[in-house]
Amino acid sequence: MQYLKTNESKLSMACAQRMHDLQETISGPLEACRDDWVALCYHPRASTERRAMIECLRLNEAQVSAGCRKVLQGTGDMQRQRSRGSAP
């Protein structure tokens, strides 16, 4: 990502947009899972949609870092609260 960011002016519009989408999705708490996602889930056509990223990380939860596992547990708690109507 650092290489792409440094050379952003040389990227195609599609590549630059995909990089931007990925940065937005993986910001915040999910940033702890960035390296895990790259190692376990990334391929050129992988979805950069937050829900798809979390789903892939959960499928590989036994292999993710402790920090990422903690974030994934937190996202599960938030989803359960939403399904019960406890969260906005």
Verdict on whether the full-model pTM lies above 0.75: no
- Other Cβ atoms less than 10 A from the Cβ of 41: the count is 19
Tell me the residue range of the domain where 35 lies.
2-84
What is the pLDDT, as a whole number, of residue 39?
A: 93
| CA pair distance 17, 62, nearest whole angstrom | 31
pLDDT in tens, 14-73: 888 888 887 777 788 888 998 999 899 988 788 878 889 999 999 999 999 999 999 999
| CA pair distance 78, 86, nearest whole angstrom | 9
Assigned token pair, 40:
């376990």
What is the pLDDT, as a whole number, of residue 88?
A: 44
Total domain count for the chain? 1
- Other Cβ atoms less than 10 A from the Cβ of 54: the count is 20
Q: What is the largest CA-CA distance in the chain?
A: 47
